[in-house]
Amino acid sequence: MKRKIIVGNWKMNPTTLSEAVNLFKKVKNTAQRLAHTHVIVCPPFPYITKFTSSTAKPSVGIGAQNAFFEERGAFTGEVSPVMLRDLGVSHVIIGHSERRAEGESDEIVAKKVQAVLESGIHPIVCVGEKDRDAHGLYLDILRIQIKNSLAMIPKRLANQLVIAYEPVWAIGSKEPMEPAVIEETVIFIRKILADIFGQENALRTVILYGGSINFRNAPDIIIRGKVDGLLVGGESVNIPGFTELLKAVDVV
């Protein structure tokens, strides 16, 4: 059975270190008992060093929610991928729709993706349409967004890429996307990846789905949506929900 990847995006939560420690402890206890699932948690920056570990294969991988495209220098408030790599961070979410809404363009995303890859970390590149129109224009929008966001990836590092397909309208809403539609869209995304990096890389690229995942719908999305894993927002900071989700996904 191929290992599924579950990424918890804590966003700007929780507000205290003690809550973060408690949440992480619960996730780790559950993750240690999983046989077929790799769990990655992306806490806010200030908590990261509390959770990174020097072991080669920690039971919970640590990701960041953003990184800048330069290694060092006069960039007040920014964090470089090299710093994150040094702390033991394995993944970085890039181009989340909440950052794109704040003005992060495809060009900035592309530069960040390149810098993260060059530093030896896996970028989790978020892509997704804002809405779906009846004429299929959203497919062109998605294609352009993906091509532009991945425009600066060196081919030799393409196999380190993770894509998170997150239709913006499904984030933080009541329902995720229909699994059959997720499957269709993932096929479409792999076709675009094949155009850029070739068929072999495209088939190997890890593609996650994100948007209103909870412990009830997660197994079905993995099975029928045919994704390699999930990017989980709200449910990842809900202790009973996220631990249930991990256990449920591990056995599908």
DSSP letter at 77? T
Tell me: does residue 212 bind ligand PGA (CB under 6 A): yes
Where does this chain touch ligand PGA (CB under 6 A) — which range of 13-21, 29-37, 205-213, 244-252?
205-213
Task: Report the nearest approach of ligand PGA to the CB of residue 200 (Å).
Answer: 28
Tell me: does residue 233 bind ligand PGA (CB under 6 A): yes
Reply yes or no on whether 98 is catalytic: no
Tell me: does residue 172 bind ligand PGA (CB under 6 A): yes
Going by their DSSP bridges, the two strands 229-232 and 4-9 should be labelled as parallel
C-alpha–C-alpha distance, residues 90 and 122, integer Å:
6
Tell me: does residue 234 bind ligand PGA (CB under 6 A): yes
Question: Which residue among the candidates 91, 98, 122, 166 is catalytic per the annotation?
Answer: 166
Question: Which residue among the candidates 96, 98, 122, 129 is catalytic per the annotation?
Answer: 96
Where does this chain touch ligand PGA (CB under 6 A) — which range of 30-38, 136-144, 206-214, 242-250?
206-214
63 burial (CB, 10 Å; 0-12 / 13-18 / 19+) is buried
Reply yes or no on whether 166 is catalytic: yes
Tell me: does residue 217 bind ligand PGA (CB under 6 A): no
Residues 144 and 105: beta-carbon distance below 8 Å: no
C-alpha–C-alpha distance, residues 115 and 157, integer Å:
11
Furthest C-alpha separation in the chain? 51
C-alpha–C-alpha distance, residues 163 and 210, integer Å:
10
Site residues, ligand PGA (CB under 6 A): 9, 166, 171-172, 210-213, 231-235
